[in-house]
Amino acid sequence: MNFPSLFSPLQVGPYRLTHRVVMAPLTRMRAERPSLAPRPLNAEYYAQRATPGGLIIAEASPVMAGGFGNPGVPGIHSEAQVKGWRAVVDAVHARGGLIFLQLWHVGRVSHSSFQPGGALPVAPSAVPISAELKTMTADGKPASYETPRALETSEIAGIVEAFRQGASNAMKAGFDGVEIHGANGYLIEQFLQSRSNLRTDRYGGGIESRARFLMEITEAVIGVWGASRVGVRLSPYGIANDSGEADPMPLYSHVVQTLNPLGLAYLHFIEPRSSGAGRAEVNHQNVPSAMVLFRPIWKGILITAGGFTGETANAAIADGHADAIAFGRIFISNPDLPRRLSQGLPLTPYNRATFYGGEEKGYTDYPVYGELEPA
Ligand SMILES: Cc1cc2nc3c(=O)[nH]c(=O)nc-3n(C[C@H](O)[C@H](O)[C@H](O)COP(=O)(O)O)c2cc1C
């Protein structure tokens, strides 16, 4: 019997991927300011990582002005941003690649300095992120997280509508699909989890009510794109941004089972061992494996990410735990990652200091194999 590998083709919705090395969504904070529109440098970065029939999931992009929590993050709520993204998408398509956009709202993982009118960030409930975690203001000064303002029930439809509009803007920009960011302690996950959601209306309380916000957003986005071009990202057992459900299994089993009949393009996990990899080097021990736990429940295409090497990725696919593997940090430093993995070539190490913000350095100057390393 022939087991599938990273280099077996894969059908994802209407798209035939030629390989299963997916580029994970990666916030890089290098959009144009103040428009927060992607610029030519961003198009070059994505084009470098595009391969014929390879899937890129572009970085998380807020669907409304109140959805930002980091400087220089590209949005998907203005004409200028749609135009900027259009150039990114065209550059990826010119190389035969596929590109989805990740739709984002950070909720309480923001600071009033990012908010229109300097208002408090919004969240399901007025529960702040732990004081042990620090953030930065819009002009880069260290700050504590504030206590967010709990959304009124009547405001929630407006946020669902912003996701619908963001999805529609992504379509105008020419993307091949969209991914809903339901992971890493951001707004959707704040609704899902009981520590951050103390609501007593129909968006809080039991699991079904806490999942309602995600489901309404997913249905709205499907209304724009059709289910086969929509993915959802979740991070069960994750702890990023002070997230974490005491007993994740009932919650996430319900979510996965509710998503099952929709016919999504894929479900995308962040493996708990890599939770928080955006902030620091992590390798959490003795944590469950999301793909192993949820594969038996999820009926569709499963993508997962978190500390994979070519070898462990191939094993996960051959063992049937996942259909494709998303790579984050090593895709930053290896623009030709699919080729390196297929040929067993050595990898260039990444430089965490240049992950967020800046220009070419640590962004578009990583070499393809055989070129000289940057000075
Ligand atoms: C610099 C950086 C930025 C990230 N930005 C995002 C993001 O925008 N959306 C998201 O869902 N995950 C984000 N992540 C998580 C990655 O998508 C990925 O799940 C994680 O890095 C684990 O994969 P890896 O071990 O291959 O890096 C980010 C991670 C890093 C290192």
Residue 186 falls in the annotated catalytic set: yes
Contacts of 73 (CB under 8 A, 6+ apart): 27, 29, 31, 36, 59, 60, 61, 62
Mean pLDDT throughout 224-250? 97
> CA–CA separation, 324 vs 301, rounded Å?
8
Residue located nearest, by CA, to atom 11 of ligand 1: 25
pLDDT band at residue 286, thresholds of 50, 70 and 90? confident
pLDDT at residue 375 above 60?
no
- Quick one: which atom of ligand 1 is closest to the CA of 233? 11
pLDDT at residue 374 above 70?
no
Ligand 1: centre distance to CA 25 (Å): 6
Three-state SS at 244: coil
pLDDT at residue 116 above 60?
yes
Each residue's pLDDT tens digit, 35-85: 999 999 999 999 999 999 999 999 999 999 999 999 999 999 999 999 999
- Quick one: which atom of ligand 1 is closest to the CA of 331? 26
Mutational pocket test of ligand 1: of 56, 270, 312, the residue with most ligand atoms within 8 Å of the beta carbon: 270
> Which is nearest to 163 in space by CA: 183, 185, 187?
187
> Which residues sit opposite 62 in a β-bridge?
104
Per-residue confidence (pLDDT) for residue 371, from 0 to 100: 82
Ligand 1: centre distance to CA 196 (Å): 22
> CA–CA separation, 163 vs 323, rounded Å?
27
Query: Would you state the structure tokens that stand for residue 289, as one six-digit string?
Result: 């494996």
- Quick one: which atom of ligand 1 is closest to the CA of 102? 9
- Quick one: which atom of ligand 1 is closest to the CA of 24? 17
Ligand 1: centre distance to CA 328 (Å): 5
Backbone angles phi, psi at 296, to 5 degrees: -65, -20
Residue located nearest, by CA, to atom 23 of ligand 1: 306
- DSSP string of 96-155? T-EEEEEEE--TTSS-GGGSGGGPPPEESSS-PPPTTSEEE-TTS-EEEPPPPEEPPHHH
Domains of the chain with bracketed CATH:
10-354 (3.20.20.70)
pLDDT at residue 179 above 90?
yes
pLDDT at residue 1 above 80?
no
> CA–CA separation, 223 vs 259, rounded Å?
15
Per-residue confidence (pLDDT) for residue 329, from 0 to 100: 98
pLDDT at residue 318 above 80?
yes
pLDDT at residue 361 above 60?
yes
> Which is nearest to 72 in space by CA: 41, 37, 46?
37
Mean pLDDT throughout 343-349? 96
Contacts of 78 (CB under 8 A, 6+ apart): 35, 36, 37
Mean pLDDT throughout 163-187? 98
Each residue's pLDDT tens digit, 130-170: 999 999 999 989 999 999 999 999 999 999 999 999 999 99
| Helical pair 79-94 and 153-172, crossing angle rounded to 10 deg | 40
Ligand 1: centre distance to CA 152 (Å): 31
- Choose the catalytic residue: 145, 186, 237, 356: 186
> CA–CA separation, 364 vs 362, rounded Å?
6
Provide residues with CB under 6 Å of ligand 1.
24-27, 59-60, 102, 181, 183-184, 233, 270, 274, 277-278, 305-308, 327-329, 355
Which residue has 């009926």 as its token pair? 299
